[in-house]
Amino acid sequence: MNEEQRLETNQIKNDPKANLDRLKNMDSDELIGKYFQSTYQPPNLKKAKKRLKKDVDIHYDYAVPEDMKGIGQGKKFLIRTYGCQMNEHDSEVMAGLLTDLGYQPTEETEEADVILLNTCAIRENAENKVFGEIGHLKPIKMENPDLIIGVCGCMSQEESVVNRILQKHPFVDMIFGTHNIHRLPQLLKEAMFSKEMVVEVWSKEGDIIENLPKVRKGNIKAWVNIMYGCDKFCTYCIVPYTRGKERSRLPEDIIQEVRHLAAQGYQEVTLLGQNVNAYGKDLEFEYGLGDLLDELRKIDIPRVRFTTSHPRDFDDHLIEVLAKGGNLLDHIHLPVQSGSSDILRIMARRYTREDFLELVGKIREAMPNATLTTDIIVGFPNETDEQFEETMTLMKEVGFESAYTFIYSPREGTPAARWEDNIPMEVKKERLQRLNALVNEQSKASMEKYEGQIVEVLVEGESKKDPDVLSGYTERNKLVNFKAPKSMIGQIVPVKITKAKTWSLDGEFVESTAEVL
Ligand code: SAH
Ligand code: SF4
Ligand code: F3S
Q: Is the pLDDT of residue 247 over 70?
A: yes
Atom nearest to 310 CA in ligand 2: 5
Q: Is the pLDDT of residue 322 over 60?
A: yes
Closest CA to 306 of 233, 362, 369, 224: 224
Q: For a pLDDT cut of 90, what percent of the chain falls above it?
A: 83
Can you give the pLDDT at residue 514?
54
Give the whole-angstrom CA distance, residue 454 versus residue 450: 8
At residue 96, what is the residue type? G
pLDDT digits (tens, 9 = 90+) for 432-468: 999 999 999 999 999 999 999 999 999 999 998 888 8
Instruction: Establish whether residue 203 lines the binding site of ligand 1, counting it when its CB lies within 6 angstroms of any ligand atom.
Output: no
Instruction: Establish whether residue 122 lines the binding site of ligand 3, counting it when its CB lies within 6 angstroms of any ligand atom.
Output: yes
- DSSP character at residue 283: S
Q: pLDDT band at 476, cuts 50/70/90?
A: very high
Instruction: Give the angle subtended at the CA of 328 by the CAs of 344 and 269, to the nearest 5°.
Output: 90
pLDDT digits (tens, 9 = 90+) for 489-511: 999 999 999 999 999 999 999 97
Pocket test for ligand 2, best of 85, 275, 337, 344 (most atoms within 8 A of CB): 275
Quote the ligand 2 centre to 411 CA distance (angstroms): 13
- Ligand index nearest the alpha carbon of residue 86: 3
Give the whole-angstrom CA distance, residue 168 versus residue 25: 11
C-beta neighbour count of 346 within 10 angstroms: 18
- Ligand index nearest the alpha carbon of residue 84: 3
- DSSP character at residue 203: S
Do 3-200 and 454-509 show the same overall fold? no
- DSSP character at residue 464: S
Give the whole-angstrom CA distance, residue 495 versus residue 510: 6
**Which residues are CB-contacts of 135 (< 8 A; sequence separation ≥ 6)?**
169
Pairing of strands 470-473, 454-462: antiparallel
- Annotation: CATH topology of 218-448: pyruvate-formate lyase- activating enzyme (3.80.30)
Q: Is the pLDDT of residue 167 over 80?
A: yes
Q: pLDDT band at 257, cuts 50/70/90?
A: very high
First CA to last CA distance, the chain: 66
At residue 371, what is the residue type? T
Nearest CA to ligand 2 atom 4: 274
Can you give the pLDDT at residue 5?
44
C-beta neighbour count of 47 within 10 angstroms: 12
Q: For a pLDDT cut of 70, what percent of the chain falls above it?
A: 90
Q: How far is CA 162 from CA 79, 166, 187, in A?
A: 19, 6, 16
Mean pLDDT of 197-207: 89
Instruction: Establish whether residue 380 lines the binding site of ligand 1, counting it when its CB lies within 6 angstroms of any ligand atom.
Output: no
Q: What is the pTM of this model?
A: 0.91
Can you give the pLDDT at residue 1?
42
Q: Interhelix angle for 353-366 vs 385-398, to 10°?
A: 10
Can you give the pLDDT at residue 40?
60
Give the whole-angstrom CA distance, residue 350 versus residue 52: 22
Mean pLDDT of 356-382: 97
Q: pLDDT band at 425, cuts 50/70/90?
A: very high
Residue pair 438/395 in contact by the 8 Å Cβ criterion: yes
Residue pair 509/482 in contact by the 8 Å Cβ criterion: yes
- Least confident range from 40-44, 174-178, 501-505: namely 40-44
Residue pair 50/272 in contact by the 8 Å Cβ criterion: no
Pairing of strands 504-509, 479-483: parallel
Give the whole-angstrom CA distance, residue 294 versus residue 299: 10
Can you give the pLDDT at residue 442?
98
Residues in a beta bridge with 507: 482, 497
- Average pLDDT of every residue of the chain: 91
**Which residues are CB-contacts of 448 (< 8 A; sequence separation ≥ 6)?**
500
Q: pLDDT band at 516, cuts 50/70/90?
A: low
Closest CA to 267 of 219, 203, 333: 219
Residue pair 332/307 in contact by the 8 Å Cβ criterion: no
Q: Is the pLDDT of residue 368 over 50?
A: yes
Mean pLDDT of 172-183: 95
Pairing of strands 148-153, 174-176: parallel
Nearest CA to ligand 2 atom 1: 237
Instruction: Establish whether residue 152 lines the binding site of ligand 3, counting it when its CB lies within 6 angstroms of any ligand atom.
Output: no
Give the whole-angstrom CA distance, residue 245 versus residue 206: 10
Q: Is the pLDDT of residue 38 over 70?
A: no
Nearest CA to ligand 2 atom 2: 234
Can you give the pLDDT at residue 193?
81
Give the whole-angstrom CA distance, residue 91 versus residue 108: 17
Can you give the pLDDT at residue 8?
46
Instruction: Establish whether residue 408 lines the binding site of ligand 1, counting it when its CB lies within 6 angstroms of any ligand atom.
Output: yes
Mean pLDDT of 212-222: 96
Quote the ligand 2 centre to 155 CA distance (angstroms): 16
- Least confident range from 63-67, 314-318, 337-341, 392-396: namely 63-67
Q: pLDDT band at 66, cuts 50/70/90?
A: confident
Residue pair 198/190 in contact by the 8 Å Cβ criterion: yes
Quote the ligand 3 centre to 121 CA distance (angstroms): 6
pLDDT digits (tens, 9 = 90+) for 23-35: 445 555 454 444 4
- Ligand index nearest the alpha carbon of residue 161: 3
Q: Is the pLDDT of residue 86 over 50?
A: yes
Can you give the pLDDT at residue 100?
96
Mean pLDDT of 43-71: 84
Can you give the pLDDT at residue 469?
96
Instruction: Establish whether residue 183 lines the binding site of ligand 1, counting it when its CB lies within 6 angstroms of any ligand atom.
Output: no
Q: Which CATH number fits domain 3-200: 3.40.50.12160, 1.10.1740.10, 3.40.50.720, 1.10.287.1080?
A: 3.40.50.12160
Quote the ligand 1 centre to 118 CA distance (angstroms): 18
- Ligand index nearest the alpha carbon of residue 347: 2
Sign of CA dihedral 270, 273, 274, 279: negative
Nearest CA to ligand 3 atom 7: 239
Can you give the pLDDT at residue 512?
60
- Annotation: CATH topology of 454-509: OB fold (Dihydrolipoamide Acetyltransferase, E2P) (2.40.50)
Q: Is the pLDDT of residue 152 over 50?
A: yes
Domain ranges of the chain: 3-200, 218-448, 454-509
Mean pLDDT of 100-115: 97
- Least confident range from 149-158, 341-350, 380-389, 461-470: namely 461-470
Instruction: Establish whether residue 277 lines the binding site of ligand 3, counting it when its CB lies within 6 angstroms of any ligand atom.
Output: no
**Helix ranges, 80-123 (H):** 85-100
Can you give the pLDDT at residue 3?
47
Who lines ligand 2 at CB under 6 A?
Answer: 230, 232-234, 237, 239-240, 274-275, 310
Q: How far is CA 263 from CA 219, 260, 326, 465, in A?
A: 12, 5, 18, 32
Can you give the pLDDT at residue 18?
52
Q: Is the pLDDT of residue 155 over 60?
A: yes
At 331, give phi and psi (nearest 5°).
-130, 125
